[in-house]
Amino acid sequence: MSAEQSDLSVRGRQWFEALSGENGVTASGPASVLKADAVLGDETVRFLAVVPDPESRFPRARKGEVGLEQAWTLAKYVRETIELDKGATPRPIVAVVDVPSQAYGRREELIGIYLACAAAVDAYATARMAGHPVIALLVGKAMSGAFLAHGYQANRILALDDPGVMVHAMGKAAAARVTKRSVEDLDALGETVVPMSYDIRNYAKLGLLHKVIKGVAADSLGADAVALVRKELVAAISDTRAGGRDLSIRLESDAAKKVRHASIEVRKRLIEQWPDA
């Protein structure tokens, strides 16, 4: 087993603690889902993270994966936020993202991990539509279904400019096996076929990111680094409040207009051809 697979990432927990000032462990929920309401800027923000729990009662979800308990619990904590703020200003929700994958297991499929992850998606999207600014902060891996469940419904996505921060549909080793390429070939391919890349700077070219936060190494959480990230989160929250509650902004950036022009063109045609009644 490679070091990449055996080492449990601590980034999610570290950034969660640094930003919220709390450990996020709840009395009732699983130890793998962190939750805290903490002050950011001049308001209270809900922070959420999924972290490894070697004691998890589901063995396929002990390394930080989004499994059944994690996904349903995320859904609960997000919906709780909506309830808390009914009739008040919806507080921002910050998803600290460091998730290596969804949980791959027989029980997970049987019991319906697809529904659990859908519940998390549903909750985040509902919060966004209810006016909660939802911000995803990528501090490590944001992989595949795990990212769909925890972060991809955000109004704004921020990422640290760090080689360990990556978004992808499939882990590198697995993708290499499936596509019958070496990991090196996969990296080379990512330079020409941008959506295939594992590099966060190439991901930024797709126009989906709000911002890459430069000058912050994901593993060194000095006071300056944390202060900078807090400042960027506050700015993203205020930008969100000034904008819409859907995801249309992801097709509006200059980068998106360039790389996702096929998306824009197919939309244009469908809108033109759609019958009036």
Partner 1 sequence: MSVTIDLQRFLARRSFVELSARERAHALLDKGSGKELVGPFDRQHSVWLEMQNIVPQEDDGVVVIHGRMDGKPAVVVAIEGAFQGGSMGEVAGQKIVCALELAKRDHERGIPTRPVLLLETGGVRLQEANLGLAVIAEIHAAIIALRPYVPVVAVIAGLVGCFGGMSLAAALCSHLILTRQARLGMNGPEVIEQEAGIAEMDAGDKRLVWSLIGGEQRAAVGLIDDLVEDDAEAVAHAVRAAFQARRPVQHRSEQVDFFLERLAAIDPEQVKDGAALRALWGKGEVK
CB of residue 221 to partner 1, shortest distance in Å: 27
Q: What is the distance between the alpha carbons of residues 144 and 151, in angstroms, rounded to a whole number?
A: 11
CB closer to partner 1, 172 vs 230: 172
Amino acid at 96: V
Distance of alpha carbon 213 from alpha carbon 217, whole angstroms: 10
Location of structure tokens 């992989």: 143
CA distance 190 to 193: 5
Task: Using the minimum distance from each CB to partner 1, give the nearer residue, 45 or 208.
Answer: 208
Q: How far is the CB of 242 from partner 1 (least distance, A)?
A: 19
48 or 229, CB closer to partner 1?
48
Q: Considering the complex, state which of residue 51 and residue 142 has its C-beta at the smaller distance from partner 1.
A: 142
Q: Is the Cβ of residue 16 or residue 58 nearer to partner 1 in the bound state?
A: 58
> What's the CA gap between 136 and 248, in Å, rounded?
16
Alpha carbon distance 123, 78 (integer Å): 6
Residue 129 Cβ vs partner 1, minimum distance, rounded to whole Å: 7
DSSP string, 25-47: --SSS-TTEEEEEEEETTEEEEE
CA distance 81 to 39: 15
Which residues, at least 6 apart from 70, have a Cβ–Cβ distance to it below 8 Å? 30, 32, 33, 50, 61, 103, 150
At closest approach, how far in Å is the CB of 42 from partner 1?
Answer: 29
Rg (CA), the chain: 19
Q: How far is the CB of 99 from partner 1 (least distance, A)?
A: 13
- In the chain, the N- to C-terminal Cα span, in Å, equals 58
- Nearest distance from C-beta of residue 136 to partner 1, angstroms: 11
| Residue among 44 and 263 whose Cβ is closer to partner 1 | 263
